[in-house]
């Protein structure tokens, strides 16, 4: 796995971006970055990283340093090339928070909430027409999707977007008005008991809303995403950003 995670072709594409972000080109930079990817992919504890990546503490300190500087989110943004913005889709998914991540004195500040199903976090994601990630927000597991949707939509430029897909959970005047103000058609079905009907729906495009679900499935192939092991919110944000960046890197 270490050899295939970041092969020569991917490294040649990634290295100039790291240098542009003022990440120092150390002799072991590739090993450190691959170690961070390995931990994300497997979900292992930092102390159990294979020796081929160098000292585990060195890899961990690099990850924390770059997380504090928001480097992983910047890498994600810089790797986005020619997204298909004609229509977009949004949704959210629950992530179970491992007991090791829920030891912070303030769970709310770290986007972890306790519900009947246990401690959880949510990933709110917006994708392009091909299902590639454009941006995301991390919230606690009990915050309703519609409350986060306006902020998530504002994070993406909608100049070329004609339509936005979302399920019934996103029915909201605030969301619809925000989209309509930008000239974007809200392709969101009304609730089943609504008297308004769904004459506004483009069902043909709505059927393609599964692309956002497919992206969640892809992200959850990363064990460090499927279960949250990180205590700190910015560490988990960095992991999600790194997973999204890796998806774009391989395109």
Residue-wise pLDDT tens digits, 156-179: 999 999 999 999 999 988 898 889
105: pLDDT strictly greater than 60? no
Residue-level pLDDT at 109: 81
From residue 225, alpha-carbon distances to 62, 236, 244 in Å are 19, 8, 11
195: pLDDT strictly greater than 90? no
Residue closest to 212 by CA, chosen among 94, 87, 127, 86: 127
Band (pLDDT 50/70/90 cuts) for residue 185 is: very high
Contact 233, 102 (CB under 8 A): no
Report domain extents, the chain.
2-69, 87-249
From residue 227, alpha-carbon distances to 45, 95, 157, 187 in Å are 13, 6, 30, 31
Residue-level pLDDT at 193: 77
Mean per-residue pLDDT of the chain = 93
What's the CATH class of domain 87-249?
alpha beta
Instruction: Encode pLDDT of 31-83 as tens digits.
Output: 999 999 999 999 999 999 999 999 999 999 999 999 999 999 999 999 999 99
Q: Report how far apart the first and last C-alpha atoms of the chain are (Å, whole number).
A: 19
Model-level pTM greater than 0.85? yes
Residue-level pLDDT at 176: 87
Residue-level pLDDT at 181: 84
Task: Map residue 125 onto helix, strand or coil.
Answer: strand
Task: Pick the more confident residue, 195 or 99.
Answer: 99
- Percent of the chain past pLDDT 90, that is, above it, reads 82
In the DSSP assignment, the letter for residue 7 is -
Residue-level pLDDT at 30: 96
């Amino acid at each position: 796995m270490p050899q295939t995670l970041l092969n020569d072709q991917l490294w040649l594409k990634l290295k100039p971006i790291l240098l542009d972000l003022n990440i120092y080109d150390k002799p072991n930079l590739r090993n450190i970055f691959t170690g961070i990817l390995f931990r994300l992919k497997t979900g292992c504890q930092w102390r159990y990283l294979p020796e081929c990546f160098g000292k585990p503490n060195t890899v961990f300190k690099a990850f924390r340093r770059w997380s504090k500087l928001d480097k992983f989110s910047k890498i994600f943004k810089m790797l986005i090339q020619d997204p298909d913005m004609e229509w977009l889709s949004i949704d959210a998914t629950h992530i179970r928070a491992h007991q090791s991540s829920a030891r912070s004195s303030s769970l709310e500040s770290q986007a972890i909430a306790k519900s009947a199903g246990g401690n959880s976090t949510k990933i709110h994601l917006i994708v392009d027409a091909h299902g590639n990630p454009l941006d995301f927000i991390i919230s606690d597991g009990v915050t309703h999707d519609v409350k986060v949707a306006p902020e998530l939509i504002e994070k993406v430029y909608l100049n070329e977007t004609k339509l936005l897909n979302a399920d019934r959970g996103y029915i909201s005047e605030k969301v619809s008005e925000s989209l309509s103000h930008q000239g974007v058609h809200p392709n969101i079905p009304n609730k089943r008991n609504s008297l308004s009907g769904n004459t506004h729906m483009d069902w043909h495009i709505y059927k393609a809303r599964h692309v956002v679900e497919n992206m969640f499935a892809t992200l959850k192939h990363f064990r460090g995403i499927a279960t949250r092991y990180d205590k700190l919110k910015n560490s988990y944000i960095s992991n999600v950003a790194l997973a999204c960046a890796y998806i774009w890197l391989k395109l």
